[in-house]
Amino acid sequence: MLSNKLDKTLQEMTVLITGASRGIGADIALRFASVGMNVIIHYLHSHEMANDVARRCMELGANVLTVSADLRQRADILKMKEKLDLHQLKPDILVNNAGISHYSMVADVDEDKWDEVMAVNLKSVFLCSQLFMPYMISQRFGRIINVSSIWGISGGSCEAVYSAAKGGVNAFTKALAKELAPSGVTVNAVAPGAVKTDMMERFGEEELKMLADEIPLGRLADPEEIASLVYFLALPESSYITGQIISPNGGWHT
């Protein structure tokens, strides 16, 4: 018998995915939509792309809402929450996926860029978790899943700022998991290795081939593979997994 099992079917649950207009976030939205859940697609500027993901989710039978918010601002997240409340949508599952990459030597990073990367990648995880976890606590069931990066574990040359932000996400995940465990809410992070998304666009074809050659499985991950792991961590059956940083990386940097 599962502990802290909520008396809801998956189809009755609601998931909020931040940064879901493209890349890994879009595939996560589609994975949840495939079982008919209520799917909330957050985006910042990519209105048309978010609507396209929403249409694809609805074709799979999901109830879908798109919301725009600047996750660096608490006031914006509060407005987003108010919109969800108006639609009587309270997330049982929060996927903190929104993020930006940054590639440069530490010597070339200015303070504004540091603040921006930290705000989008780390502060947003704190703010969204803080504002949406009270409902999960009240029903003694919830899932917070943070999308991190392998660089948050091992650090990436010329990606020190991004690595620091994702390392912060990993530490926050472990600490919050301990706080929320007595309330039946699990908190985990998925820290992918190299994934075929637009974050990899700065690499040329030859560079991508060299990167794939470094990975024991010999290829980059598909976004769908990351989405499947996020989905698994959201299931009631994963109720004994919390405080974990799980890195699907094809055997790279293990």
Which residues are catalytically annotated?
162
| The total number of residues written for the chain in this structure | 254
CB of 170 closer than 8 Å to CB of 153: yes
Neighbours of 191 (CB within 10 A): 25
User: In angstroms, rounded to a whole number, what is the distance separating the alpha carbons of residues 61 and 241?
Assistant: 29
User: What are the structure tokens assigned to 140, written together?
Assistant: 């003694």
User: In angstroms, rounded to a whole number, what is the distance separating the alpha carbons of residues 48 and 166?
Assistant: 28
Within 8 A by CB and 6+ apart from 58, the residues are: 33, 64
Strand runs (DSSP E) across 91-184, as ranges? 93-96, 142-147
CB of 162 closer than 8 Å to CB of 121: yes
Tally: H helices and E strands in the chain? 9, 7
Q: Which of 134, 10, 5, 18 minimizes the C-alpha distance to 77?
A: 18
Helices 124-139 and 74-86, interaxial angle, to 10°? 40
CB of 238 closer than 8 Å to CB of 190: no
